[in-house]
Amino acid sequence: MDERPEEIRWEKLTAPELRRLAGRDALVVLPVAALEQHGPHLPVWTDSMIGHACCIRAAEQARDVPAVVLPPMWMGMSEHHLPFGGTISLDYQTFHGVLRCVCRSLKAQGFRRLLLVNSHGGNIDPLAVATRELCAEFAMPVVATTIFHVDAPGVAAVLETQPGVQHACEAETSFWLALHPGEVRQDRIADSLAGPGVSAGAVFHRFWSFEERAPRTGVRGDPRAATAEKGERLLEVVARALAGAMRETVLWRTPHAVWEGGKLPEG
C-alpha cells in the first residue's frame, strides 16, 4: 500500500493516490489568490502564501474530512495594483475560465466537491458570480469564501490598529512574520504608510486604482503594529473557521438543478 493518508497537499501526491481520494469523495480545496504589489516591505507572493497556509492548516485540523489542497491559483484580478509594478492580473473572462477548467478537470477525475478559499480583495465580487455559475453548470457544490470573512470578529480581536484586514497591513505583515519572517523587509516598514486615498463609501461602485486609494506606497493599514504572535493567532482563527466549513454538511449538498425542466414545485 503506497498511499500516505496523512498528506493533504495535491502536488505531493501521486496520480493513483489522488484517484483513491476521488473515490472517497474527498473535498478539493483551491486557494484563490493573486500576484501583486504589497508595498515596499512584503513580497508580491503575499496573498498566495497566506491563502495556501490557511488552507493547509485547516485541512490538517479537519482530518475527519477527506480533503486535498491544490497549489494556489496565483493570478487573480489585480489590475488596480498595476501602477506600483510587480503585478500580474487576469481579466474576468479569463478568471472565470481558469476556475471553470479546474472544475471540469476535477469532475472528469471523479471529484465532486470544491472549496474556493480566496485571499485577495479584488477577487471577492467576481468569485461570487463565478461560483454561482459553476455550481449550476457542473451540478456540483462549489463553495467560495474569503479567509478574512470566515470569522471577522475573531480576526478583529487579534488586531490593534485596524478593524479588519486591509493591504500589506498589520494583519498581512503579521502572517509573514509568523510564517517566513526572513522575507519581510523590516527596514522598509516605517516607510510603508500611504497618504490619504480617495473613497466614495460603500454605496457607489467604480474602478479605483491603488495609486488613488493608497498613494505613494500602495499600503492600506499600519504594518508597524505587526508581530509574529498576531500572525499565528490569525492563522489559527482562519483555519478553525475553514475547518468548520469543511465539516458543514449543508454546504456540500448537490445544487438544485434549476436549468432542468419539469422540476417545478407542486402547489
* Domains observed in the chain: 10-252 (3.40.50.10310)
Q: Which residues of 156-193 are buried (b: 16+ CB within 10 A; e: fewer)?
A: eebbeebeebbbbbbbbbbbbbbeeeeebeeeebeebb
Chain segment 111-130, per-residue pLDDT in tens: 999 999 999 999 999 999 99
Query: Which residues pair with residue 67 across a beta bridge?
Result: 27
Which residues of the chain carry a pLDDT beneath 70? 1-5, 200-201, 262-267
C-alpha cell at 183: 522575507
Chain segment 162-220, per-residue pLDDT in tens: 999 999 999 999 999 999 999 999 999 999 999 888 876 678 888 999 999 999 999 99
The pTM for the full model equals: 0.94
C-alpha cell at 141: 457544490
